[in-house]
Amino acid sequence: MPVVNQHTELAPASRRGFFSGFGKLSLSATAIALLAGNEKLALIGTASAQTANNDVTILNSALGAEQQAIAAYQLGADSGLLQKPVLALAVQFQGHHKQHAAALAKAVQKLGGKPATPLKDYGFPKDKLKTEADVLGFAATLEKGAVSAYLGAVPILTDRELAKAAASILGDEAMHWAVLRQALGQNPVPDAFVS
């Protein structure tokens, strides 16, 4: 069986939940989808302890969401429902999420925090994934949720380099969502604004 990069898709409701409870470290599907993505996360400037703690909480929530996305793409890859070109795309997207997760973990450590660890079970709706279109639809929903989560995270990160990296990841997630919509035969960019 092909191994997909530890890619887990996050449910939109989970991402919204992330922003409503910074005090709780939610690693569920509702956590922020992706706050990493490049080496800039490793170049965090100095910050006060409180600022660093807030950013660690946000980054760990994002890390949890990335780990969930990695697992979701693995589920899709292992399902046997994806045709070869679609499987290759899923593996590629999972690879992006693995890169995001690695950068997030590094940033959390640099800020003095302990990176979140993946859950053993994310409670994915496996019984509802019966066709390739079901898997793609599930992934598209998760990617859209990731875009929304990053839109909310960018302005609240206190470190501007982290915010810049989060915005870069947001762009990657938006591209994933558009490509998945296109694969489903839907308009890849249905609106002028993403919310």
Q: What is the pLDDT of residues 60-85, one digit of tens each?
A: 888 888 898 999 999 999 999 999 99
Within-domain flag for 188: no
Tell me: pLDDT of 20 over 50: no
Within-domain flag for 192: no
Within-domain flag for 36: yes
Tell me: pLDDT of 121 over 60: yes
Split at pLDDT 50, 70, 90, the class of 50 is low
**For position 121, which CATH number holds?**
1.20.1260.10
Split at pLDDT 50, 70, 90, the class of 52 is low
Within-domain flag for 195: no
Within-domain flag for 190: no
Average pLDDT, the chain: 77
Within-domain flag for 2: no
Q: How many domains does the chain have?
A: 1
Q: What is the DSSP string of 39-84?
A: GGGG------HHHHHHHHHHHHHHHHHHHHHHHHHHHHHHTS-S-H
Amino acid present at 113: G
Specify the higher pLDDT residue, 14 or 154: 154
Rounded to the nearest 10 degrees, the angle between the axes of helix 12-20 and helix 49-78 is 170
Split at pLDDT 50, 70, 90, the class of 186 is very high
Split at pLDDT 50, 70, 90, the class of 188 is very high
> Own/partner pairs for 152-159, CB < 8 Å, 24+ apart?
152/19, 152/32, 153/19, 153/32, 153/35, 153/58, 153/62, 156/58, 157/35, 157/55, 157/58, 158/47, 158/51, 158/54, 158/55, 159/44, 159/45, 159/47, 159/51, 159/55
Tell me: pLDDT of 5 over 50: no
Predicted local confidence at residue 71, as pLDDT: 95
Specify the higher pLDDT residue, 152 or 9: 152
Specify the higher pLDDT residue, 68 or 40: 68
Within-domain flag for 193: no
Within-domain flag for 95: yes
Domain extent, residue 119, equals: 7-183
